[in-house]
Amino acid sequence: MGWHPFLASQRSTNDPIAGTTDPTLFQTFRYGREQLAFEFPVKPGRYRIEFYTTEPWYGTGGGVHAEGWRMFDVAVNGVTLFDDLDCWWEAGHDGALKRVAELTVTDTLLRLHFPEVKAGQALICALAIAAVPQQALQEGPVTTKGNKQSALEPAPPAPSLFTWSSTSASTPNEPNHWLSTNPLVFEESSQKLRNLPPVLYGAQWVAAAAVTDHLEAVLTIQKPTDLYLALTADRLVPAGFEPSGLTLETDKGEPFNLVKARFTSGQRLESQSWNCPLVMAVPALDTPEERPLRPSLRYEAEAAQWSGVVDTGLVHLDKACVTVSKKGAFSLAWTVEPGLAGVYSLRFRYRNTTETVKTLRIQVVAADGRVMRDAPMVFPPASDKWRVISTTTGEAINAGRYTISLFGTDAVGFWLDSLDFQ
């Protein structure tokens, strides 16, 4: 409690869901323990509660008996409606489970919460609340499979971060909600996203029809918003935006560099000058910095194994570094030895003294020769000072020895100070 809802634990799955005609309802979910709760202002009266959940993890692949691996209670205003709910036991892995109950609310707040999580975490996909007509009132919670006519008008949807309209029309449109790697973002190009940065999961978004088009729209900001633009490597950073250090790709390998800017309520923006096919928005949040729980290891550029057109022994702003001063192939490689399995962050401290984006490649290779990641990496112009750009190993790697390589064929003006591995 106390965190912005956008920061709550939330995930999605691409798995098909059995036992329902609406599988998409169960493919996104929130999860947590006793502090996870949902609050709704209501009038005193009797209400029907429909609780929807699934088991997206335990039992994957079959052959696993996962009874009791996830077990939790569901309550409203301190009254337990469902005790020891075990979705795997009732519906199996990736099975839809709907539980229904009624209770009387005497206050003006209906709070659904999970007072006891005996195993795993509580998990909720969807929730429906409806008022029960007066003639159906009775005391205490009652489980029911019947359908009663609702006397409660649907609540209005949560306000969007922005609205948008085409440049040739004035009627405002709502953005798409819940960005993930599931939706077809560019419909005419039949492309989804992959390698979506975590900060943009659940974002609101609007996109051009094709990945090669430019979005032409007028955006009106409704709430304080951090706006991200997806730019191809040949596009300069629009005025008012700055490189975020993040990248994404489509499922067909189209790479984008992400730039970011913060806007306040009421601002009106025209996207024509941005030359981008995709705009994403998340709430403007300033979260406190936390002490890292895992140490960050720094690997200096001058200590890398290098080949090609690399100049060493240089110093800039009291930092020893390497640089590429002429065209040609080059590579820099570091050997890392993680002690724990997981996805690791890779942060490069660099300068790009030209006015054009430098697109290099990053590769993560295991000791047995398996390529764990091979992808383009975009370095925006940064001539005035050192900047940091981040990526990851792409997938979880085990404890062991790996080689991280950065290489390219045309990187004149590229300087590198260090690699941080965390």
> Within a 10 A sphere around the Cβ of 329, how many other Cβ atoms?
12
Whether residues 171 and 127 fall in one domain: no
Q: pLDDT tens for residues 57-108?
A: 998 877 788 999 999 999 999 999 999 999 999 999 999 999 999 999 998 9
For residue 68, the surrounding DSSP H or E stretch is none
Task: Evaluate whether residue 291 is within a structural domain.
Answer: no
Region of poorest pLDDT, from 145-149, 352-356, 375-379:
145-149
Residues 135 and 169 in one domain: no
With bands split at pLDDT 50, 70 and 90, how would you rate the model's confidence at 233? confident
Q: What's the rounded Cα separation, in Å, for the pair 19 and 267? A: 45
For residues 247-257, average pLDDT? 84
Choose the final residue of a domain: 90, 114, 143: 143
Cβ count near 43 (within 10 Å)? 11
DSSP state of 24: G
The model scores a pTM over 0.75: no
pLDDT at 1: 41
Kindly state whether residues 257 and 323 are assigned to the same domain: no
Q: Do 279 and 330 belong to one domain? A: no
Residue with more model confidence, 147 or 385: 385
pLDDT at 249 over 70: yes
Separation in Å, CA 354 to CA 231, 284, 380: 18, 31, 9
| Inside any domain, residue 151 | no
238 within a domain of the structure (yes/no)? yes
Give mean pLDDT, residues 387-403.
85
**pLDDT band with cut points at 50, 70 and 90 for residue 118:** very high
Residue 153 within a domain: no
Q: Does residue 125 share a domain with residue 31?
A: yes
What are 318's two structure tokens? Answer: 């009291």
Q: Of 143, 171, 199, which one is at a domain's C-terminal end?
A: 143
Q: What is the pLDDT, as a whole number, of residue 374?
A: 92
In this structure, what CATH number is given to the domain that contains residue 343?
2.60.120.260
* Cα–Cα dist 184/186, whole Å: 6
Give the tokens for residue 51.
């609780």
pLDDT score of 150: 41
What secondary structure does DSSP assign to 137-158, as a single string?
--SS-EE--------SPPPPPP
Say if residue 240 is in the same domain as residue 344.
Answer: no
CB atoms within 10 A of CB 216: 13
Q: Is residue 157 part of a domain?
A: no
User: Do 136 and 209 reside in the same domain of the chain?
Assistant: no
Q: Is residue 195 part of a domain?
A: yes
The reply to whether 150 falls in a domain is no
292 occurs within a structural domain:
no
Are 123 and 166 part of one and the same domain?
Answer: no
Per-residue confidence band for 288, with pLDDT thresholds at 50, 70 and 90: low
Q: Are residues 275 and 306 in the same domain?
A: no
pLDDT in tens, 166-199: 876 667 888 998 888 777 888 887 888 877 887 8
Domain tally, the chain: 3
Q: Point out the domain boundary residue: 283, 306, 335.
A: 283
Q: Are residues 22 and 130 in the same domain?
A: yes
Q: Which DSSP string do the residues of 77-108 spell out, in sequence order? A: TTEEEEEEE-HHHHH-TTB-EEEEEEEEE-SS
Helix, strand or coil for residue 165? strand
Print the domain residue range for 307: 297-421
On whether both 69 and 186 belong to a single domain, the answer is no
Domain of 138, CATH number, reads 2.60.120.430
